[in-house]
Amino acid sequence: MDSKQNRERMESGKLYFSADEAVMAEQTACIERLWEYNQSRPSEGEKRARMLEELFAHVGKNAYIEPPLRANWGGARVRLGDNFYANFNLTLVDDAEISFGDNCMVGPNVTIATAGHPILPQLRCQLLQYNLPVHIGDN
């Protein structure tokens, strides 16, 4: 399976090869940008807001995330509604879309994961996984 087919499988919820070099290179670029967000100073609120706009698929009004933030794709598949707040150590396994509605608050040390791994050992040994979206509504 070539990288294009693998990427299509990744985005459609089918089993795909998670260690594909092209996928991993793209993912690494996203994580590099996220690293910069996590290094920002507490006094750099405007800078953080701009960075979230660049990192995430959508950021609503008054959205804020306390660093550190971890995300497999640096937030590229995450949509935040208006008045979103996340406390320290949010982990988003955003291999598929994660969306939050308006007025959502996330406590410290929360993980939201879209990735799943096969139960059969012979499939797990091939580094196969699948992804399904997570949608959290308003309030």
With contact defined as beta carbons under 8 Å apart, do 89 and 109 qualify?
A: yes
Q: Is 117 a residue of the active site?
A: yes
Q: Which is the catalytic residue, given 50, 117, 124, 135?
A: 117
Distances (CA, A) of 79 to 54, 75, 95: 12, 8, 13
Please give the structure tokens belonging to residue 5: 């087919």
* Catalytic annotation, residues: 117
